[in-house]
Structure 1
Amino acid sequence: MYENFYHLTTKPFQMVPNPAFLYLSDLHRNALTYLEYGVMERVGFILLTGEVGTGKTTLIRYLLDKLPANTVPALLFNTNVNGEQLIRLILHEFEVEPVESKAGNIDLLQQYLIERYAAGKNPLLIIDEAQNLSDEALEEVRMLSNLQTDDEMLLQVIIAGQPELKKRLLSPHLAQLRQRVAASYHLTALSEQDTAAYIAARLVKAGGDASLFREEAVAAVFRASDGIPRTINLLCDAALVYGFADEVARIDPAIIEQVVAHNQWGSRPETETEAVSRPPLPEGRADENSALAATVGELEARVREMHLRLDLLQTERENRGREPEEKLLNGLGLLLQREREKSDRLLEDTVLLRTQIQALTEKISHPGNTPVAAQGHDAVATPEEKGLVARVRQLFFAKAQAIDATGQEREK
């Protein structure tokens, strides 16, 4: 809608997590370092937490694009499951057909991980929205740490979720899982300076002018969003729509104030210690608004899952393309050598057959040095000899056809 007016090649503040638009603030760069370290060093369990909209999913998608070729990632988004269902989902994501029993599925998973380890692969399990996991499911996650060799974990696990996940791990009954977390990072909101850099970076990435939002407008965005990237995107996208409608060349603070007022946005998401007070909705609208919000949230989760799966498929395809071609070339060379040897044997057999046919023909045509015209072919050839000649000729023609076929394959 507004892209042409503001000379943009795409929308800079889309809600779908896009790793191409990731702004690596100091916070996000540190979080990425922890994630990469954990995966590369095979430390086992890695914990990533943060408020809603701070960029956890975008960071994970960015990590997927940077994974080494030997990594085999699996992504879990449906976390409203019990422990047994969780194991089945993990097998499904690793493309292993589960069985009926829980013990059988654990054995299948262990066998799969051992095979991948022997092949030099590094399986990686990413559990997003992990705050929704039941205690039973979290215990199954802990049990995954038992799948290991003498000195290395067979499965790397990234557990990502909202702050309540970190609080749950402080519970005494989850102490064993907490003790297995080798690397942990908590994403917080952006500072005002990072908010300005975030907005400018996304505008430039979309082909626009970094100064499209006036400094006062950026400050207003920060105050209204409290530095939460998802809320920043909502505000800035709406501001561009408003600016386009009013034909405003640069976004000023008045437009941001209109957006906030018209949409009744608060600042940060509600937490346990503070809540955002909102004007009450008219009677009958509260339930409608709640249902709509739930539907939008579900759709956003589905879109996020689809994009992550597409990223995974793209990563796997690129990894396969980066595998060395030496093995393939060696295999083709071996096949070619075998075909050459086969062709040489066929040629030797052909020479031998031609010699045999020539000898038999001379014997039949000139028995006792008697000319064929005087004796006649039928008068001198026995039925056994005639049959032998026929079989030899048939074999010769079959060999000749095989040689022709081999020659055609070589030409191809």
Structure 2
Amino acid sequence: MYEDFYGFRERPFQLTPDPAFYFESVTHKKALSYLGYGLNQGEGFVVITGEVGSGKSTLVAHLKEKLDDERMTVGEVVTSALDDDEMIHVAARSFGLDIEGGDKAAALAAIELFLHEEARNGRRVLLIVDEAQNLSIGALEELRMLSNFQLGSHPLLQTLLLGQPEFKHLLAQSEELEQLRQRVIAAHHLEPMQPGEIEPYVEHRLAHVGWDGNPEIDGSIWVKLHKATGGIPRKINQVMTRLLLMGAVEEQSVLEADMLEAVLEEMNGDNAPDAETETAAKPRPDRDLPAAEAIARARSEPARPSPASSEAHDKGLLDHQIEAIEKAFAERDKHMAAMRREVQKLAASRDQATGGLPQDADKRLEAIERRLDEQEQSLRHVLTMMIDYFESQATRAAA
């Protein structure tokens, strides 16, 4: 919808990884350097970790485009929560090997034969394993055993492991993975983008779909966008998609800070869990995912209550009230900005019309007045809450 309104060739902030949209931030440039170094070694493991949505898959898609198909064969494993036997069969299928039955020995023999044939044909073999934090210790050990295949002194298989931060911790802490750890020749953790990279990232993706300056983007949104998303590319994409949609619905040629605030408020409301969902989402100590289980064990000791919990509780209440007032004033500012846009539209309509203001002018002004009245009532309510709170605190202090 919004891509038609603004004349884009396609959606600039789609969530699926697309190497055409690859943006080389500082952290992605470092990761690509580590990948290049690791692949040049032609052996062992290269590990790339990062938060969900940090751009691991897009980075790998960009890397694959740079590889020479005539000199490199690439297999990909994206199935998670595999045990050791399943890992071998899935790895075989990633190279196009059809293994009948569930014979692990036959699968290993087929993989070894395949690797030897590729080496004789002058081709190297790379296995990319995504969501590595979901693999069992046994599956990771099987990957290490696959790296033992050699033709003379020449290693036949190199493996790229992609995972979330818990995999980085698991790999660093697990005694069972010591041998695999010794075979990691390059590793990099993708950090969030820096505040100064948000604007060029957004404009890079917009330019790729034919953006010609419409919509114009208010420069004040970049700091707020970074704060709201933490510099995570996928989160930026989500917010920008909603912001462009709002701009198209309201027929705006400028994306302003108050529009961004409205989008963030709406998204926060969408993501707020109810009590039942929040309870169900709590991590369970008996989860089957090995990385999560290992981290859960390390952090299983319950937190002890602070002796100053009462004071912290009172401070929390005060902070909550202050946040409520700040939010109310932000709402007022947002509606004032909306009012300014409405007045501008009325003025434009008046200039174009020959018979004065448009027919719906009175209704639109009444709607603006209603919104301002609602804001005033909201502010009064919050201020009353603050007064009651301070009075109760004074009474307790006096007692």
Q: TM-score range by the shorter chain?
A: 0.5 to 0.7
Query: How far apart are the structure 2 equivalents of 1:174 and 1:256?
Result: 46
Aligned-partner residue type, residue 91 of structure 1: A
Give a deviation string over 1:158-191, Cα, whole Å, max 9, x none.
0001011111112111111111011111101000
- Shift, 1:41, TM fit: 3.1
- Structure number, greater radius of gyration: 1
Q: Is the contact between residue 118 and residue 124 of structure 2 (CA under 8 Å) also seen in structure 1?
A: yes
Q: Say if 1:289 and 1:207 are closer, same or farther in 2 by CA, change over 3 A.
A: farther
Give a deviation string over 1:234-285, Cα, whole Å, max 9, x none.
000000001111111121111111111011179xxxxxxxxxxx8552x66x
Q: Is the contact between residue 3 and residue 9 of structure 1 (CA under 8 Å) also seen in structure 2?
A: yes
Residue of structure 2 equivalent to 1:322 = none
Query: How far apart are the structure 2 equivalents of 1:287 and 1:59?
Result: 33
- Shift, 1:36, TM fit: 2.6
Residue of structure 2 equivalent to 1:37 = 37
Residue of structure 2 equivalent to 1:3 = 3
Percent identity of paired positions between Structure 1 and Structure 2: 36
Q: Secondary structure in 2 aligned to 1:247?
A: coil
Q: Secondary structure in 2 aligned to 1:146?
A: coil
Give a deviation string over 1:331-362, Cα, whole Å, max 9, x none.
xxxxxxxxxxxxxxxxxxxxxxxxxxxxxxxx
Aligned-partner residue type, residue 85 of structure 2: E
Give a deviation string over 1:73-124, Cα, whole Å, max 9, x none.
1110002111111111111111112254222221221111011101101111
Residue of structure 1 equivalent to 2:194 = 191
Query: How far apart are the structure 2 equivalents of 1:122 and 1:139?
Result: 22
Q: Secondary structure in 2 aligned to 1:15?
A: coil
Structural mapping, 1:180-219, within 5 Å: 180-209=183-212, 212-219=216-223
Residue of structure 2 equivalent to 1:72 = 73
Q: Is the contact between residue 195 and residue 223 of structure 2 (CA under 8 Å) also seen in structure 1?
A: yes
Query: How far apart are the structure 2 equivalents of 1:152 and 1:58?
Result: 30
Structural mapping, 1:78-93, within 5 Å: 78-93=79-94
Structural mapping, 1:224-373, within 5 Å: 224-264=228-268, 281=274, 286=277
Q: Say if 1:209 and 1:289 are closer, same or farther in 2 by CA, change over 3 A.
A: farther
Aligned-partner residue type, residue 214 of structure 1: D
- Shift, 1:288, TM fit: 12
Q: Give the paired residue count.
A: 277
Aligned-partner residue type, residue 118 of structure 2: R
Give a deviation string over 1:294-331, Cα, whole Å, max 9, x none.
xxxxxxxxxxxxxxxxxxxxxxxxxxxxxxxxxxxxxx
Residue of structure 2 equivalent to 1:24 = 24
- Shift, 1:48, TM fit: 0.6
- Shift, 1:40, TM fit: 3.4
**TM value normalised by structure 2:** 0.66
- Shift, 1:19, TM fit: 0.6
Residue 154 of structure 1: which of 143, 153, 156 is its match? Answer: 156
Aligned-partner residue type, residue 56 of structure 1: K
Aligned-partner residue type, residue 234 of structure 1: Q
- Shift, 1:37, TM fit: 2.7
- Shift, 1:209, TM fit: 3.6
Residue of structure 1 equivalent to 2:139 = 137
Q: Is it true that 1:172 corresponds to 2:175 in the alignment? A: yes
- Shift, 1:64, TM fit: 1.2
Residue of structure 2 equivalent to 1:113 = 115
Q: Is the contact between residue 18 and residue 61 of structure 2 (CA under 8 Å) also seen in structure 1?
A: yes
Q: Say if 1:30 and 1:90 are closer, same or farther in 2 by CA, change over 3 A.
A: same
Query: How far apart are the structure 2 equivalents of 1:24 and 1:249?
Result: 28
Q: Is the contact between residue 131 and residue 163 of structure 2 (CA under 8 Å) also seen in structure 1?
A: yes
Query: How far apart are the structure 1 equivalents of 2:166 and 2:207?
Result: 35
Q: Secondary structure in 1 aligned to 2:222?
A: helix
Residue of structure 2 equivalent to 1:409 = none
Query: How far apart are the structure 2 equivalents of 1:265 and 1:92?
Result: 43
Aligned-partner residue type, residue 115 of structure 1: E
Q: Is the contact between residue 43 and residue 157 of structure 2 (CA under 8 Å) also seen in structure 1?
A: no
> Which runs of 5 or more structure 2 residues have no equivalent in the other structure?
282-399
Q: Is the contact between residue 53 and residue 228 of structure 1 (CA under 8 Å) also seen in structure 2?
A: yes
Q: Secondary structure in 1 aligned to 2:153?
A: coil
Q: Secondary structure in 2 aligned to 1:14?
A: coil
Q: Is the contact between residue 42 and residue 152 of structure 1 (CA under 8 Å) also seen in structure 2?
A: no
Q: Say if 1:123 and 1:280 are closer, same or farther in 2 by CA, change over 3 A.
A: closer
Aligned-partner residue type, residue 202 of structure 1: R
**TM value normalised by structure 1:** 0.64
Q: Say if 1:288 and 1:27 are closer, same or farther in 2 by CA, change over 3 A.
A: same
Aligned-partner residue type, residue 10 of structure 1: E
Q: Is the contact between residue 77 and residue 128 of structure 2 (CA under 8 Å) also seen in structure 1?
A: yes
Query: How far apart are the structure 1 equivalents of 2:221 and 2:181?
Result: 43
Aligned-partner residue type, residue 40 of structure 2: M
Query: How far apart are the structure 1 equivalents of 2:242 and 2:201?
Result: 16
Q: Secondary structure in 2 aligned to 1:215?
A: coil
